[in-house]
Amino acid sequence: MKLLKATLLATLTLFFVTACDDDDDDTSSTLSAATIADAAVADGNFTTLVAAAQQADLVDTLSDPNAELTVFAPTDAAFEKFLMENNLTADELLGSPDLADILTYHVIAGEVDAATAIGLAGTTVEKVNGDNSALSLSGENLLVNTATVTATDILTGNGIIHVIDAVLVPPADVGEPTSNIVETAINDGRFTVLVQALITANLDGALADENETYTVFAPTDDAFTALLAELNIDAATLLANPDLATILLNHVVQDAAVDSVTAMSLNGTSATTMAMKEIAIAIDEETDTLTVGGSTVIIRDVYTTNGVIHVIDAVIID
């Protein structure tokens, strides 16, 4: 598989990239940096990553000559995008109590080259912080969660670097849920139309059943408002639609609580909903977002006592 190639220039020529020709099956780079830390410092495109590693006391780990690590390294541009999207300054990021957790979510214990990573596409892999991340393919590109790998197999004396275009954020630790899907939607306050629709279609009881397990892709009130405007109808007309139950069930997968990382690993496939329809699972590489049925997941992994909710920005209409 030929991946997108990015040339990494090191001022001390610590390593160089050898791009495969069009007939090759992968993109590989030949090196010779002593350690991952040395390579990152010498390259010059990872100043934020290096500063973060120093702040989190991880430089010794990345400099350990006896280590065998794989690092998915976000560039400075990736960190700039992350800071902008999260309305953070670099100082706020470096001072975050979650910094070490974020950084170690970019590291695999052991050496995983591009060919191995491609072979693992469609699965999840454990990171050093204990959380899983997804590997998938999008055309010729290898993705880690929603980030695109832009250069591969930068070999060092203690591991391998793969360059990515976005910062990976580990799943949040939210503790044990106390409410079922319907209760969670009611308590949130942003799903009043969805809740009313579930009640009208007599589906609220099913989705409150704690003997069942569901994954729900939940459109917000804003999503329903946009749909009503697009169809030029009011909420009462929607609620009176004889296909209302089918529309709602097309947002529900039964017998599984599919977390977002697992969903990302299913990039390029589809899920069968309770409406017995297929909805596409895809990653938008331009926006680094997970999409389901063409709708963007804007909040991931809201766990409940009988499943998980992923909040989406549009109603899924096939």
Q: Could you tell me if residue 58 is left (phi over 0), alpha (psi between -120 and 50 degrees) or otherwise beta?
A: alpha
- What would the pLDDT profile of 75-108 be if each residue is shown by its tens digit? 999 999 999 999 999 999 999 999 999 999 999 9
The rounded percent of the chain whose pLDDT value lies above 90 is: 88
pLDDT-based confidence at residue 18 (cuts at 50, 70, 90):
very low
List CB contacts of 273: < 8 A, sequence separation 6 or more: 249, 250, 251, 252, 253, 279
- What would the pLDDT profile of 252-268 be if each residue is shown by its tens digit? 999 999 999 999 999 99
Domains, the chain, ordered by start: 36-164 (2.30.180.10), 181-312 (2.30.180.10)
pLDDT, average across residues 185-196: 98
Nearest-10 crossing angle of helices 192-200, 221-231: 70
H-run or E-run covering 94: helix 90-94
Q: Under a CB-based contact definition with an 8 Å cutoff, are residues 26 and 118 in contact? A: yes
Helix, strand, or coil here: 70? Answer: strand
Are β-strands 159-164 and 295-304 bridged in parallel, bridged antiparallel, or unpaired? unpaired
Rounded-to-integer distance, Cα 263 and Cα 166, Å: 18
Q: Under a CB-based contact definition with an 8 Å cutoff, are residues 138 and 283 in contact? A: yes
Has residue 135 got a pLDDT over 70? yes
Q: Under a CB-based contact definition with an 8 Å cutoff, are residues 249 and 277 in contact? A: no
Min mean pLDDT across 23-37, 158-172, 213-227, 288-302 is at 23-37
